[in-house]
Structure 1
């Protein structure tokens, strides 16, 4: 799985730097982190734009509270999917 790091957070929009291959547009990205008072949290993001210099812009599917620059992001290699 391809890994990246958060470089900028503006509300629900995150800029992420990948050292390897960039995730495809619409790929799901995930980050797991500790949120005070709620324990371990997993957030899903969707890749929206390739910015250049190995950066992508992604939109969070939930609140970005507790995220910090430098946190590791994982590219799932597939778009967001919902079971039906």
Structure 2
């Protein structure tokens, strides 16, 4: 990424990448927030208005792996004592996934395009 100019090690503010990690050894609450944190960062870059009046950016958001987001939600739900659905997922799955997916959108200042891997 340095050779391609995506990361500028001398001036990090000129870099064109931001990464958020939620490893499987982290508590499920942390892993559940990683997707939303990455999306919040993408929204910031999309909506950022520059001092020269320039508009935001078009952002490419990679989520690897959206299934881990679902699993983290299932673990948090179990820790909270909620009854799982008939197929074993948390009862709030549709709402949690909807909140994440609905925020991936275009505005007048920029856009977010998302690529999400699903490994089961």
How high is the TM-score relative to the length of structure 1? 0.28
Structure scoring higher RCO (CA < 8 A, sep ≥ 6) equals 1
User: Which structure has the highest strand share of the two?
Assistant: 1
User: Which structure has the highest helix share of the two?
Assistant: 2
